[in-house]
């Protein structure tokens, strides 16, 4: 119980420390990337936003895949995943965290994309090593916020509902070679 409470508090603290982004600064990738684990294009923004590289560098962290399956760090990392947001203008990607068996936590700017209408949302879990999709799962997410601050600033945490029982599919290992 205390471990879950500590993890939830850590996630909330991490979200509160996020730098504020305005909705128009969230980069959109091709709509064809929605539903895929391995994305075709690197996430790039033409503005002042610098996106962190998840796999092996670019910021001070250690990739989760470097730890053995039984490692506590790797187990805790399973609660963190990528939120894929399909819009009528393209696909956006954000980080999201499982906070229970029914709910995710992300930032409000992930769902407030200027000039775009959210059509579908997926949570990609278990993708910790670039190009290795074995044991990766894709879950459908209800895009209607369960809980959000009335102020709804771009960096405001927002809670979404997820169904962990009915995941879309489990991926198997694929090659990144074309």
Distance CA 8, CA 68 (A): 23
CB 117 within 8 A of CB 92: no
pLDDT of residue 84: 92
pLDDT tens-digit readout, 115-163: 889 999 999 888 877 777 887 888 888 888 888 766 656 667 777 777 6
- Judged against a pLDDT cut of 90, whether residue 86 lies above it is answered with yes
Of 1 and 35, the one with more pLDDT: 35
Q: Give the model's pLDDT for residue 73.
A: 76
Of residues 111 and 10, the one with the higher pLDDT is 111
Place of tokens 């959109």: 28
Rounded to the nearest 10°, the torsion over CA 34, 38, 39, 45 is 110
pTM, two decimals, is: 0.64
Cβ-proximal residues to 75 (8 Å cutoff; 6+ apart), any chain: none
Tell me which of 49 and 108 has the higher pLDDT. 108
The structure tokens listed for 61 are 């962290």
Integer-rounded Cα radius of gyration of the chain:
16
pLDDT for residue 49: 42
Q: Are 161 and 141 in contact (CB under 8 A)?
A: yes
Q: In the chain, what are the domains? A: 2-170 (2.40.10.10)
Helix (H) or strand (E) holding 58: none
pLDDT tens digit sequence for 25-72: 567 778 888 878 777 655 444 434 444 444 444 555 677 777 787 888
């Amino acid at each position: 119980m205390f471990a879950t409470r500590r993890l939830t508090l850590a996630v909330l603290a991490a979200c509160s420390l996020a730098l504020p982004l305005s909705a128009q600064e969230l980069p959109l990738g091709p709509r064809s990337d929605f539903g895929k684990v391995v994305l075709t294009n690197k996430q790039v923004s033409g503005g002042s936003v610098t996106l962190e590289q998840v796999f092996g560098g670019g910021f001070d962290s250690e990739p989760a895949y470097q730890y053995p399956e039984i490692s506590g760090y790797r187990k805790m990392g399973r609660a963190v995943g990528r939120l894929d947001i399909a819009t009528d203008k393209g696909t956006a990607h954000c980080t999201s965290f499982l906070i229970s068996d029914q709910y995710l936590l992300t930032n409000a700017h992930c769902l407030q994309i200027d000039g775009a209408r959210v059509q579908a949302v997926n949570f990609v879990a278990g993708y910790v090593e670039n190009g290795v999709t074995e044991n990766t799962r894709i879950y459908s997410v209800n895009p209607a916020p369960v809980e959000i601050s009335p102020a709804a600033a771009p960096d405001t945490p927002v809670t979404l509902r997820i169904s962990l029982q009915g995941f879309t599919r489990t991926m198997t290992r694929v090659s990144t070679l074309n």
